[in-house]
């Protein structure tokens, strides 16, 4: 066994997808996809529209159930996972179309990300007894740490609906981060942003990965950003995997170039 | 009500800190908003932290006359670092935190700082861009600094504070020596400096404390504390002398919200501060010609009648003062350049009499670096007190 091979077997895979297949009424969205995400890396899923990226994220997240294949997360194999179980196990996500409570403040939205971290039950909360005592302060502090981390302090008390699009995206990231996930799934976190906003968001994603040690799987169309921040890139096209490796390797793959330049179809 | 008195007069800023710690050790000296909550430091804690950092600096070779370059937005750690350098007879060199990054890099390149306090990653990047390799680099925020030098020349502020030592550094500040130095890029991108001695700072601070009747009961927001010499004269020195509370905003972007929440009695703003607040109000006023806009204009006339004064106060002036964070302000000070007439008139209409305290120091070309030593001190062209 070579040194590289020995090293490769030592890396810990946080997430492994094996032969995943998803279809809707006979139409295949994803076919026979297998790849692994190493603990602590930023993995990007890229591909043209309709390639099956969001479907795959929904499978990981438990929103869709794969008809074929297996998912292994943190060493445990799952044939099917429900969204609630997924969240409990430490997977959080953001959505392509912002899904926030527009009539609530930034702080309150971030606090909703702490729901699974509460230990008190509803009776204790209603009567402010037992574990509920002091829990609000702890949850508030945890939410404030996320707000500080993502530099959202100036908008802490602002209603989310009044914020510009780029900031709403950041609040959504904050809510996902508030759950203290081991794996963060980001569905087009920079869609619709200008160059400055993209740069800022990229920095936050890298900081989340480096400073908090959170493993990130993201879908992004901006190839420049993807190549700049990712450790690992998986390329999908028409529901199939056509590339999987480090950014430099993927960038030079003839199949990937063909898919992106549109010469293949 | 405790107020500033003339009795025994310390001659330097660190001596004033010691005196405040003795006289009101449990009184609140600093507040800093973090995680949405105001965190407190008493005078006793502050003096202990300054002394501890001074000890850590001295052990590493910081000597009287040495300069500590501070590249940071206002935050307690930076202020503690400045006072620690002054404790050891050194100079706190401040760069305007709002200065463009490129200008800061140019200044840093010229300053050749051996001792540097940098706020975080962004500031350290500027030091690196300037090619600076300080003997000791202290940083406050370690985010993004995974690859910090392991040679012991780069240390977190918190790490330095945790290094307990029995060594108690002697207070070496002298009244006639420079306490603060400010640098900027002047006309033709030439570097200019202002150096202010302890004596000069205390003289101006004393004037302000007497004139504005400042005392321990006062509360100030230090959003631009490190911007210019005027703030050292009219905010930092009076704070140490009168013993009031100095509040640091959560960050520069939240300073207006924090001011509103705090309602400081003393505001030491620049022309830019007042003009920004004026512009914010103008942007939020009702559309011209609407009855609500006419009501605002009716209430904000320069010489109101009795009805305008009373009704206008409850309907317009009081809510506006609240929004601006001037609800309790009794000392609205303008440090430096005078206000434009429309802004001055606006604040006057709100019954906020902005008083100008000009910055008397002149900017001049620094002596070539390194400065020649004079009797063990760096000749620093300090302006006479």
State pLDDT tens for residues B88-124: 999 999 988 888 888 899 999 988 889 999 999 889 9
Beta bridge partners of A73: A15, A76
> pLDDT per residue over A131-183, tens digit each?
887 888 899 999 999 999 999 999 999 999 999 999 999 999 999 999 999 99
CA B353/CA B274 separation, integer angstroms: 12
Cα–Cα distances in Å, from A38 out to A197, A231, A245, B30, B64? 28, 10, 12, 45, 53
| Alpha helix positions (H), chain A | 3-10, 53-61, 83-89, 106-112, 122-127, 135-149, 165-178, 195-212, 223-229, 247-251, 254-261
A248 backbone dihedrals φ, ψ, rounded to 5°: -65, -35
Kindly identify which residue of chain A lies nearest to residue B250, measuring between CA atoms: A153
More confident residue, B300 or B380: B300
CA–CA distances in Å: residue B293 to residues A43, B164, B245, B282: 54, 61, 38, 11
Q: How many CB atoms lie within 10 A of CB B219?
A: 18
- The number of residues making up chain A comes to 265
State the CATH architecture for B13-214+361-378. 3-Layer(aba) Sandwich (3.40)
Q: Residue B35 gets which letter from DSSP?
A: T
Chain B contacts in chain A segment 200-229 (CB below 8 A): 207, 210-211
d(CA A123, CA B165): 51
A108 in B contact zone (CB under 8 Å): no
Backbone angle region of A103, left / alpha / beta, with phi > 0 → left and psi within -120 to 50 → alpha: alpha
Predicted confidence band of residue B151 (pLDDT cuts 50, 70, 90): low
Q: How confident is the model at residue B53 (pLDDT cuts 50, 70, 90)?
A: very high
Question: Which pLDDT score, from 0 to 100, does residue B26 have?
Answer: 97
Per-residue pLDDT, averaged over B138-165, amounts to 80
Query: What rounded mean pLDDT belongs to chain B?
Result: 88
Query: Rounded to a whole number, what is the distance in Å from the CA of B261 to chain A's nearest CA?
Result: 12
- Nearest by Cα to B245 from B281, B221, B269: B221
From residue B282, alpha-carbon distances to B270, B288, B314, B324, B349 in Å are 19, 11, 19, 12, 14
When pLDDT is averaged across residues A217-238 and rounded to a whole number, the result is 92
State the count of interchain CB pairs (< 8 A) between A and B: 30
Q: Is pLDDT of A49 > 90?
A: no
pTM for the model stands at 0.85
Question: Strand, helix or coil at B152?
Answer: coil
Alpha helices in B60-139 (DSSP H): 76-87, 101-111, 121-129
Q: For position B368, what pLDDT does the model report?
A: 59
A72 touches chain B (CB under 8 A): no
The per-residue pLDDT for range B183-234, each reduced to its tens digit, is: 988 888 888 999 999 999 999 999 999 999 999 999 999 887 777 888 999 9
A154, A162, A174: which to substitute to probe chain B, counting the most B Cβ within 10 Å?
A154
Residue B385 pLDDT greater than 80, yes or no: no
The CATH fold of domain A11-90+182-265: Rossmann fold (3.40.50)
End-to-end Cα separation, chain A, in angstroms:
40
Instruction: Using pLDDT thresholds of 50, 70 and 90, give the confidence band for residue A251.
Output: confident
Residue B281 has pLDDT above 90, yes or no: yes
DSSP letter (8 states) at residue B163: S
Q: B40: which residues sit within 8 A by CB, 6+ positions away?
A: B28, B30, B31
**Residues whose CB is less than 8 angstroms from the CB of residue B329 and which lie 6 or more positions away in sequence, other chains included:** B263, B264, B265, B266, B267, B321, B352
CA atoms of A22 and A217, how far apart (whole Å) = 19
Q: What are phi and psi of B120, to 5 degrees?
A: -165, -155
Residue spans per domain, chain A:
11-90+182-265, 103-180
Taking only the tens place, the pLDDT of each residue in B325-338 is 999 999 999 998 89
- Name the maximum alpha-carbon separation found in chain B: 71
Q: Please, are residues A210 and A187 in contact by the beta-carbon 8 Å criterion? A: no
> What is the mean pLDDT of the segment spanning A111-116?
92
Q: What is residue B147's predicted lDDT score, i.e. its pLDDT?
A: 64
Cis peptide before A221 (omega within 30 of 0): no
- Please tell me the predicted confidence (pLDDT) of residue B149: 61
From the list B223, B222, B173, B182, the residue with the least C-alpha distance to B202 is B173
**What's the pLDDT score for residue A125?**
83
**What is the predicted pLDDT for the residue at B64?**
96
Q: Judge whether B222 and B33 are in contact, CB under 8 Å.
A: no
Looking at residue B279, its pLDDT comes to 95
Residue whose structure tokens are 């505001």:
B267
Chain B hits for A107, CB-CB cut-off 8 Å, are: 36
Closest residue, chain B, to A158 (C-alpha): B257
Q: What is the pLDDT of residue B376?
A: 44
Across A191-205, B70-84, B159-173, least confident range: B159-173
Q: Do B36 and A153 touch (CB under 8 A)?
A: yes
Nearest-angstrom CA–CA distance, A237 and A255: 10
Helix (H) or strand (E) holding A186: strand A183-187
Q: Give the separation between CA A46 and CA A244, rounded to whole angstroms.
A: 10
- Return d(Cα B253, Cα B239) in angstroms, integer: 23
B250 closest CB neighbour out of A107, A153, A211: A153
pLDDT over 70, % of chain A: 94
Inter-chain CB proximity A153 and B253 less than 8 Å:
yes
Dihedral pair phi/psi, residue B17, rounded to 5°: -60, -45
DSSP B280: H
Give contacts of A153 with chain B, Cβ < 8 Å: 36, 250-251, 253-254
**What pLDDT score was predicted for residue A263?**
56
Task: Kindly list the distances between the CA atom of residue B295 and the CA atoms of B112, B286, B309, B311, in Å, as whole numbers in the listed order.
Answer: 57, 10, 13, 10
Residue A117 near residue A142, CB atoms below 8 Å: yes
Cα-Cα end-to-end distance for chain B: 31
Percent of chain B with pLDDT over 70: 91
Using CB atoms, pick whichever of B37, B146, B254 lies closest to residue A154.
Answer: B254
A8 phi and psi angles, rounded to 5 deg: -65, -35
Torsion angle of C-alpha atoms B236, B241, B242, B246, degrees rounded to 10: 30
pLDDT recorded at residue B229: 87
Q: Is the minimum CB–CB distance between B288 and chain A shorter than 8 Å?
A: no
Instruction: Give the phi and the psi of residue A115 in degrees, each rounded to 5.
Output: -50, -45
Rounded-to-integer distance, Cα A48 and Cα B172, Å: 68
Residues of chain B within CATH 3.40.50.980 domain(s) are 13-214+361-378
Mean pLDDT of B63-76: 94
pLDDT at B167 (0 to 100): 83
Please name which of B4, B156, B182 lies closest in space to residue B91, comparing C-alpha atoms.
B182
Q: Following CA atoms B15, B17, B22, B26 in sequence, which dihedral angle do they give, to the nearest 10 degrees?
A: 180
Supply A135's token pair.
């829990």
Rounded to whole angstroms, how far apart are CA atoms B200 and B229?
Answer: 11
- Mean pLDDT, to the nearest integer, of B126-141? 91
Taking contacts as CB-CB distances below 8 angstroms, the residues of chain B near A211 are 143-144, 146
Decide if B34 touches A, using CB distance below 8 A: yes
- Sequence-ordered list of residues with C-beta below 8 angstroms from that of A263, at least 6 positions apart, any chain: none
Q: Say whether pLDDT at A99 is over 50.
A: yes
Mutate to test the interface with A, among B33, B34, B35, B258 (most CBs of A within 10 A): B35
3 state DSSP class of A73: strand
Q: How confident is the model at residue A4 (pLDDT cuts 50, 70, 90)?
A: very low
How many helices (H) and strands (E) chain A has is answered by: 11, 10
Question: Which CA distances in Å does B145 have to A153, A183, A210, B148?
Answer: 22, 23, 10, 6
Q: Which of residues 226-285 of B touch A (CB under 8 A)?
A: 250-251, 253-254, 257
Closest alpha carbon within chain B to A206: B144
Cross-chain CB nearest to A141 (options B35, B143, B144): B35
What pLDDT was estimated at residue B364?
85
């Amino acid at each position: 066994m070579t040194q590289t091979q020995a090293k490769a077997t030592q890396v810990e895979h946080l997430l492994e997808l094996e032969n995943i297949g998803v279809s809707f009424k006979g139409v295949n969205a994803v076919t026979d996809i297998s790849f692994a995400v190493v603990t602590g890396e930023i993995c990007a899923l890229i591909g043209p529209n309709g390639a099956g990226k969001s479907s795959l994220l929904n499978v990981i997240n438990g929103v869709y159930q794969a008809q074929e294949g297996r998912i292994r997360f943190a060493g445990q194999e799952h044939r099917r996972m429900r969204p609630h179980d997924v969240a409990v196990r430490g997977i959080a996500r953001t959505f392509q179309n912002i899904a926030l409570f527009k009539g609530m403040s930034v702080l309150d939205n971030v606090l909703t990300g702490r729901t699974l971290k509460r230990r008190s039950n509803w009776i204790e909360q209603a009567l402010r007894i037992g574990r509920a005592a002091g829990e609000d302060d702890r949850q508030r502090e945890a939410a404030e740490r996320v707000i500080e981390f993502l530099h959202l302090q100036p908008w802490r008390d602002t209603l989310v609906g009044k914020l510009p699009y780029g900031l709403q995206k950041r609040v959504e990231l904050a809510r996902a981060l508030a759950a203290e996930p081991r794996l963060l799934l980001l569905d087009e976190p920079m869609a619709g942003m200008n160059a400055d906003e993209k740069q800022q968001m990229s920095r936050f994603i890298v900081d989340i990965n480096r400073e908090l040690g959170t493993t990130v799987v993201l879908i992004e169309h901006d190839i420049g950003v993807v190549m700049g921040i990712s450790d690992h890139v998986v390329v999908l096209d028409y529901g199939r995997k056509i590339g999987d490796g480090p950014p430099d390797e993927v960038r030079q793959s003839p199949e990937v170039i063909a898919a992106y330049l549109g010469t293949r179809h | 009500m405790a107020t500033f008195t003339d009795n025994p007069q310390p001659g330097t800023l660190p001596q004033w800190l010691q005196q405040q710690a003795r006289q009101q050790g449990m009184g609140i000296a600093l507040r800093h908003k973090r995680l949405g909550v105001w965190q407190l430091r008493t005078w006793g804690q502050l003096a202990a932290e300054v002394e501890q950092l001074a000890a850590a600096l001295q052990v590493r070779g910081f000597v009287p006359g040495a300069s500590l370059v501070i590249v940071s937005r206002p935050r307690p750690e930076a202020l503690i670092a400045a006072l620690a350098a002054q404790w050891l007879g050194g100079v706190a060199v401040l760069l305007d935190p709002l200065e463009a990054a490129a200008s800061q890099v140019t200044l840093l390149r010229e300053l050749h700082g051996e001792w540097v306090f940098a706020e975080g990653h962004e500031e350290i990047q500027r030091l690196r861009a300037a090619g600076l390799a300080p003997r000791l680099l202290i940083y406050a925020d370690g985010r993004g600094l995974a690859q910090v030098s392991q040679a012991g020349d780069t240390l977190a502020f918190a790490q330095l504070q945790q290094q307990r030592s029995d060594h108690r550094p002697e207070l070496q500040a002298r009244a006639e020596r420079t306490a603060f130095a400010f640098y900027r890029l002047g006309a033709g991108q030439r570097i200019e400096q202002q150096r202010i001695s302890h004596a000069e700072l205390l003289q101006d601070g004393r004037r302000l404390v007497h004139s504005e009747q400042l005392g321990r009961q006062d509360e100030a927001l230090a959003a631009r504390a490190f911007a210019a010499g005027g703030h050292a004269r009219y905010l930092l020195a009076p704070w140490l002398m009168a013993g009031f509370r100095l509040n640091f905003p959560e960050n520069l972007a939240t300073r207006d919200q924090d001011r509103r929440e705090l309602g400081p009695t003393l505001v030491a703003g620049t022309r830019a501060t007042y003009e920004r607040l004026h512009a914010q109000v103008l942007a939020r006023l009702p559309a011209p010609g609407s009855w609500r806009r006419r009501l605002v204009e009716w209430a904000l006339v320069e010489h109101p009648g009795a009805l305008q004064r009373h009704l206008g106060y409850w309907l317009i002036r009081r809510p506006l003062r609240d929004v601006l964070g001037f609800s309790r302000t009794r000392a609205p000070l303008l440090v430096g350049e005078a206000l434009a007439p429309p802004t001055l008139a606006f604040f006057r209409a709100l019954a906020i009499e902005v008083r100008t305290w000009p910055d008397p120091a002149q900017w001049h070309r620094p002596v070539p670096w390194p400065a020649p030593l004079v009797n063990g001190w760096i000749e620093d062209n300090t302006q006479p007190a």
